[in-house]
Every structure is written in C-alpha cells, then in structure tokens.
Chains A and B, each alone.
Chain A
C-alpha cells in the first residue's frame, strides 16, 4: 500500500464468479427477503439517488435474480449501492432491497474476490477523506 502506483491501478480484474445452484438458493442464508414478491412496480428505481451511474437499474437487478441470470453478480449496480435504505423504506411489497444488494455482494466477496483496491487513491486523499468512509468501504467491498 505504501507506493502509490499511478499507472498500477486499473479497474478490478474481470471476475470469474462461480455459482452452482440457483441464485435464489444462494441468497437463502444471506437474506430472507421474498424476492419473488416483487411485481416490478419501479418504485425502488424511481427513488434511487445513484441510478444515473448504474448499468442495471435496481428493479433489473431483482429481475435477474428472479429469472436466475447469474450475470447480475458482474454488474456495477450492486457495488454502487450506498445502503441508504431509500428503496427498502418505499417498497410497496416491504422487500428490503438494501439487504438483497448486500447479500449479492457477499456472494462475490465470500468467493474472496475483492471489489476495491486502494492503489488508486492519492496520499492527500487518504489523509483528508474521513476514516468512516474507508471503514465502510472496506466492510462493504472487501471480503
């Protein structure tokens, strides 16, 4: 971590995530949310502050899980989620979407594929950004 390799930091390597059975069974232990309860009303997407940067919209992520399309684990969206709970509070089906996003992240992290690599940060930033940001980031993005 000491040397700051300007060129060294590149986007995280393409991950080869292995998921044997159905996604919904993988999620079983991690969160007991009734993903199938979703009727694609779009409220979560309409209320998410980070939708512009997301490759999959929030309801598309849920749809991937329902249709068991494993590519959802490679999407940028699950890492962009800042766990602000706006979607969970507003979902008419009372599904805690924030927990589902965390569970999806955990599936990847528990195959010890880390999302974050701190090379890209300048020293100055390491000093000025509040520690709570780093602690949160490590907890969320590193297995």
Chain B
C-alpha cells in the first residue's frame, strides 16, 4: 500500500460519545469522516443518561456542544439510520457498502417541529424512554437529537397519510426506499456501543412483572428532566413518590447463571450517582444499595462513594439478595437479606432499581462477523493489551464499550486513541479529501453607512403560529438603517440559504439580522452563509423569537408579537454599530515536547512521529521505561519486558524522536503553537521550539509505614515480589499473606490506586502455578478486579487462594512470630479471629504522584487536584486535555492505571495534540478582548480575573495573547477605565441593545 493511493477518510461506525469524539479529533486533524449510526439520530446511550459521575454534570449539557459540533462540522458527513453491509479492501483503502434504511422523512427539510407526532394515531413504546412512556409511529429520538429530524417506524405505521397532511415543511417521503451506497475510506473505527443486560432474564427480581422494579437505565430516564416523569421520582404502580428505594448490584454481571463471568465496571458508581441524585430531587428518599464489592476505582470515585455514605446518608448493605417479593395488591416490595453478622432481615421497599450490566449487541456481533473481526467468547471485540484500540483486522480500530464494559472517561480516551491509530495509518493522505470552501474576498464596509437586511422566520407554525410575522416584517422595514426585510417559512432550509446570498448581493446589504430560533445552534450556519456572500461573518445578529418567545408564550399571541418586536428592534439597534472582526490566524510550530520517558511518554511520542511530526522526549533518569521496568508480567499475560524493550528500541531508532535523558526542564515559555522550552542536560542548556506539550511524568509506588515494613525484610511490596519471583525465589510450601489498600482509601489519601487488587491476584496465581503447595491469603477491603479481570479473581479462588475481607476499623496486624510472621485478622463471614503463620507478607502500597508534578505544573501553568495528580480540563469529556490550550496529559500522571489503559490514553493525548500541530495555522476566536493602551493604567485587575492567563501586564500595560483568549469578556467587565473591550460585545454595543429594548422608536 503505497502512500499515494491511501484514502484520506475514515469511517466511524457508531454515533455515541465514542464515535463523536473520534470523529471530531479526525475532522480537526484534516481527515474526512463518515459518521454512521444505526438509529435516526446520534447520541447513543449517553443521551439517555440524566447526570454523570463523579461530577454530577447533566449528561446532555456536557454532550450537547459535541453533538452540535459534529452536526455542523464541514469535514464530518452524518449517515444516520444506516448499516454497514460489507467491507472490502485493505488497510489504507477500504470499499464499504452502506445500506441507508428508508427513513420516510427528508432529513434536510424536516425542522423537528413535531406537529406530525402530535396527531399520529399510533401508540408505540418509546425505546428511548425505556418503555416508561409512549411515542408515535413518527418520532424524534430525543428533543436535542442531531440531526433534528423525525423518522417513521415502518412496522408500527399504518400508512394513513395524516403526517404528510400536517407537515408544513413537506418533508414526508412515503415512497422512500433503502439506498445502497459505497464509500471509500482509509481506515475504520468500530464503536457501536453496548446493550444493557435484559433484566427480565433474572426472573427472581421480577422485572417486567412487578411495575415498581425498574432497571437502572429506566431510572436514568425517570431522573431526566426530558424524561417521561419530567425528573420527578415516581413509581409506575400508583404514581406515588417512593420513600425507600433499593438498588440491586450485579444484575447480569459476575453471574454464571446468565453466562456473565465478568464485571461491568460502572454499575457500582452509577448506582451511587442515581441514589445521590434521587436524594437531591427528593430529600425524603432513603436509598439503600445491596452490593458484593463496592468497585469505585476510577479517578475521584472513592471520595464520591465516601460523600454518598457520609453526606447523603446512602445505606450500603453488603449482601447479594436472593429475590424480590411483591405484594400483588399494593405493589410494595419485600427484600430479605443477610447482614454481615449472619442475621436474616426482611424489609419493605417502595421501589427497586436493578443495576444492569453490559452485554455485547447482537448486530455488532453480526457486523464484526461480516468484517472478519475476532470477538472474545463474551461477544465483545477481542483486543490486545499492547494496543487496546486495534482489532484483529489491519486498518480497523475499536473504542468504547464494544471492546468491553467501561465508563465515559475511558471511552473518550479510547476514542481519541483510536483516532490517533486510524489517522496514523493514513497520515500521508491528510487534507486530501477535505475541501476548504473558496470564499470571496470580504467586502470593505468601513465608511459606508449601515444597510441592514432583516430576515424573519415562520419556522412552519412554530413562530408563525403565535407571532404576527408579516406585521413584524412591516415594523422592521420602518426602523432606521433597514433597507430590506422579508419573511420565509424556514430560513435555515437549504433553498432559503441559497436565496440569502443573492438577496444580500442584490441589495448591497452590509448588516444581516435573522429573527428565528436560538443562535446557539444556528448562528454559525447563517454566519457561514453571509460569509459566502462576501460579508464578514460578524456583521450579523440574531433575535431569538422562537425558543425564548413564541414557544413559551403560546397562549398569548399579542404579548408574544410585542416581545418579538422588541427583540428585533434590539438586534437592529446593535446592527448599526457592529464592526467586522478579522479572523486572527497564528502560525504553529508543528512539533511536540513530551515530558516523561515512561511507557505513556514513549507511546505518545511514537504516535506523533507516526503522524509525521518531530518530538522531543525529555526523561529525568538515564534510561527510558519508568516504573514499567519493575513489572515482569501483566494481568493479561503480555510479555511486559519484551514489549518495553522493543518500544524503547522503536523510540531510539525513530528519526523524528530526539531523546533527552538525564534532562530537567528549566523553563517553558510561550503559548499554544509557539512554545520555547529550556532543557538542562548535565550542565549544558538547550532551547527547544515546539507547538504542544504532553505531560507523561507517571507516578511512583509509595513507601508503606505500617505492618513492620522496613523493619523485617520478609515484609515486601508487590513490585518487590515480582522482582523476587523473576529471580526465581523458591516459595514452594511457603505461606504468603498479601495485604491490600496499604495507604490507599485512607483519611489522608482518599483515593483507590486501582491496580493493586488485580496485581495481587496476578501474583498469587503466578505463585500457585509455580508452587501449587504454597498457601496464599489475600486480605482485602473490596476486591476491585473490574471488567474482564474478574476472571483472574475466579481462577485465583479456584486455585485455592483464600480471600479474607477486613474493614478500615479492624485492620490486620503483623507481628514477629517464632519463626515466621504472625498476621492477625478476623474472618468476615465467621466473625472469628484468624492467625496466619506467614513466611512472607506482601503489601499493596498506594501509588502516589511524582514529587516533581508541582514544579512542572507551575512551569506550564496547569493545576493539580487535591491528591496531587494533574487536573484535566473535564474529568468526563476532556480527560487528556488541560484547560490551558495546547497542553495534554497521559499515563499515571493523570491517575493510577493499567498498562493497557495507559497506552490508550497515550494514543489519545497524541491524537488531541495532532488536532493542533496537524496544520500550520490555528484560527483563534474572533470575539477576543483588545486593549486601548491610551486608557490602560496598568492596574492588573484584568490579569487577575482571567482564568486562562490570556491577558497579562507587559511593561505596565495590559496585553492580550489572542491565542489563549477564549472570548468570555470577564476582563472587559473588570477593567476600571474601559481600556479593555471585547470585540463584538463592546460596551456601546451592549448599551445599544438596552436602549433598543426600552424605547419604541430608535
């Protein structure tokens, strides 16, 4: 596959959060993206969620910006309601046949107004609301769906023709047929997501028979404001507000009864979230969670669990219940459970929520079969720990829950990682299939009086039905500066936009006002159109007379029209004094600096080099490898040292990567695209220019201060044990006691180090395999072998490893015995003291951040979290970015993680970095601040207020770094002398809006 005939496009299968993230990364790195989804709109499961842990952000609020970006990104082509039929060809040049299912609604024309659905006579179960409410045969998946277009469910529809009769946009296409089309792409990313376990299969819990037993995804819909119960927590049997709600964990996970020998990783944390959010909605609710092991292992999850226990009073009962009984009359539920000290208690509950696990989707398995992708025996996509985003077929990558249960941060990391691999394969074909529209030169409007054009929209009946639009047009025509005014049925439709360009040019308009829906979704669309007409995009203003006027004053037409007149008049008032804003472009040094030569640093360096950009890799020690040098075998049986050796080999031999070992960073200056870093290598200093920074400083094993560590050489850490076993230590016949959570999950360090449970089980198995007669005990607080690692825990027990649980207030004791060490603890089931004569005690110490993080943080002006790890821009949706543009994060510097997860995050950081250094230009925001030096007294108030350090004092005057400025305008509002103004939102412009609102005549 020579470089020439590589195709510069990528097919992304699955429009959930994974598909959206990888599409945006690829589209912003100069590749054409075909984003395909089997349902009528993208959004996937995350769209169904109410809030997300651990920040309790509303899921839709953090996802909507990505939805809108994907919806209107010029390089992303949305192919909804479609399936992949077949894939031919090889990596770099695939021919993919796609079947676009008949949707019976023209996506371009439909504006999502919903008049058709209001009258459709058919009742159908709303799958999106998990059956809690009904939808019609013609439906929109959810209010914020992208594309905002209805679809007809052909099985349910009786073809009565009513919707076509009602549709004003004439968007109904009854003779729509499935379309077969073929696209040519260089690589493919599979992220079709997962299916929730169907809890009807667990008959003993009564889901499907007892109305008050709901699944967790159904409870998400109940909690959601756009859900069937409008976010009121109610129960289905009588619409009452439940007081006692029970969450049942591990429904369809860790259960051989239904063929699930794995843990679904996220249910513990989402159950806590649902309990906490329910409690916030209704303080009288008493949530109880029945669980086996509380697996809150992610970043910030442990303190989330503690807060739920201490602040919200969520009750945690450690018992997997046997069944749920229901009183057929009152539909109240009874649950019988065993307390930790062996008592049997029967308790009444008003409602029960089954925390269902993940299963693979049937049609994803078929697709994988058709594409020749290997699946593991549980039906998920088979991946290797060496590269968790590669499938068994060259050129086809995977991310998200299709390769195994995982939460949203890990999904987003894998999505960016898959984007890195997918684009790395075809980096030579970058920018070949991406056309930048040729735009006419911008009209120079200086010195010419305002010639304002006003376009008022009916939006079918959404505005026209409640606001006197023709009257509004006449009113606007009379206002000063207005030379043209018209109304149209749908301003945003394709044909109206074409006429827009002609109208502007014919009437020589130099200001455009559109009175229609919300600028949030439609401003960029209209700005792009007027730019095509030769006008600067910022000579434009919108009046929101739908979402904030006609839709909310439906029953009072006169006041709605009056308010619309005010809004139009305000826009016109500002229009006369808006100015064209130049699009500032910065040039970018297309190279990267990677701080830290551990596994993550090396992988991200290699990934960036694969994209064709040079990398400077800074390593404090003399050789590369970091903590991985002390790991000999991984939980998934990967040859760790072998992989480390050939990774170091690749880094050393890669011409684009310059390794600076024994080096310290002295100073980092500059900003995104234009960094200058001084690095000191044994006394001589060199300066490196680069465009982006990836922080991969890793983390270290802490030194335990308990259990006689350091006082008796038979007390070692898990890493020491690995070293000993690698050197062939003879443990046959010996008794080994392992103690978990040494320094983690404590008052002074309230986080879980995530890897130690699996590490202990891995080492215990290694001991048992080498010396079957050795006795191994593991003293734990919660076994957190999440995901497919659960099978290791199974095998360890089967090999006879004894697991004993201890609680924080009754920690085990280690004392010197006659010949061995005596480990004292208490059996959690028998409530009986146990003493283990151990020849060796192995501790699982907490993983703590690199001591040097604070200094790197100051240099890069990036913050640390309260545990000392780096604080990313957003824990859920930007886990590898920092809030400061151009700086990225990978590996254990973010938080403790497994080798596979570190590799995924390293690729992700590389992909995010390439979105910047993949082009030599970087378009900054247009509405940035500017300083009038004459008025500036150098008081520094503005600099103190700026969260992005985009405005600073230079020789007594405030100076704005346009590259860093995000355009929030805080500095302008703080300035004492009016020196600082925000372009597009100048004081006089805002005042003109106020004046426009108040006085009838301008």
- Spell out A's residues near B (CB within 8 Å): 34, 36-47, 51-52, 57, 59-60, 63-64, 66-67, 69, 86-87, 90-94
Contact = CB atoms under 8 A, between A and B. Distances in A.
A74 to B, nearest CB: 15
Given A36-B797, A44-B322, A52-B344, A93 B829 contact: no
B460 interface: no
A45 B250 contact: no
Given A39-B797, A92-B257, A45 B338 contact: yes
Interface in B781-817: 783, 793-794, 797-800, 802-803, 805
B830 interface: yes
B870 interface: no
Interface string B371-383: 0000000000000
A94 B256 contact: yes
Nearest to B255: A92
B758 to A, nearest CB: 15
Given A34-B798, A45-B342, A46-B338, A39 B783 contact: yes
Contacts of A67: 802, 827, 830, 834
Contacts of B292: 39, 41
A57 B322 contact: no
Given A34-B798, A42-B319, A46-B322, A90 B803 contact: no
Interface centre among B250, B255, B800 (most CB of A within 10 A): B255
B434 interface: no
Interface of B: 204, 250, 254-257, 292, 318-323, 336-338, 342, 344, 783, 793-794, 797-800, 802-803, 805, 827-830, 834
Given A39-B797, A60-B829, 16 more contacts: A34-B798, A36-B800, A39-B292, A42-B318, A42-B319, A42-B337, A43-B322, A45-B319, A46-B319, A46-B338, A51-B338, A57-B342, A60-B342, A69-B830, A92-B254, A93-B256
A129 B737 CA distance: 54
24 contacts: A34-B798, A36-B797, A41-B320, A42-B319, A42-B320, A42-B337, A42-B338, A44-B322, A45-B319, A45-B342, A46-B320, A46-B321, A46-B322, A46-B337, A51-B338, A52-B344, A60-B830, A63-B827, A64-B830, A90-B204, A90-B257, A90-B323, A92-B254, A93-B256
Contacts of B798: 34, 36-37
B793 to A, nearest CB: 8
A46 B344 contact: yes
B254 A90 contact: no
Nearest to A47: B322
A40 B803 CA distance: 10
Interface class of chain B by DSSP:
mixed
Please provide the 10 A-B residue pairs with the shortest distance between their CB atoms, ordered closest to farther. A47-B322, A41-B320, A94-B256, A42-B319, A45-B338, A92-B255, A63-B829, A46-B322, A42-B338, A51-B344
A47 B344 CA distance: 9
Label chain A's interface by main secondary structure: helix
Contacts of A52: 344
Contacts of A69: 830
Nearest to A46: B322
A41 to B, nearest CB: 4
A66 B323 contact: no
A42 B318 CA distance: 8
B338 A57 contact: yes
Given A39-B292, A43-B320, A66 B802 contact: yes
B765 to A, nearest CB: 13
Contacts of B254: 92
B321 A45 contact: no
A37 B320 contact: no
B693 to A, nearest CB: 45
B336 A46 contact: yes
Contacts of B830: 60, 63-64, 67, 69
B826 to A, nearest CB: 12
Contacts of B797: 36-39
Given A46-B336, A46-B337, A92 B829 contact: no
Contacts of B803: 39
Contacts of A59: 338, 829
User: Which of A51, A67, A92: most chain B Cβ within 10 A?
Assistant: A92
Nearest to A36: B797
A57 B828 CA distance: 13
Given A37-B797, A67-B802, A92 B342 contact: no
Contacts of A41: 250, 292, 319-320
A70 to B, nearest CB: 14
B975 to A, nearest CB: 63
A75 B803 CA distance: 23
B322 A90 contact: yes
Contacts of B204: 90
Contacts of B319: 41-43, 45-46
A40 B342 CA distance: 12
Contact of A86 (B322, B342, B783, B794): B322
A34 B797 CA distance: 9
Nearest to A93: B256
A59 B318 CA distance: 13
A69 B803 CA distance: 16
A94 B828 contact: no
B769 to A, nearest CB: 16
Nearest to A69: B830
A92 B171 CA distance: 52
A83 to B, nearest CB: 17
Contacts of B827: 63, 67
A103 B342 CA distance: 23
Contacts of B829: 40, 59-60, 63
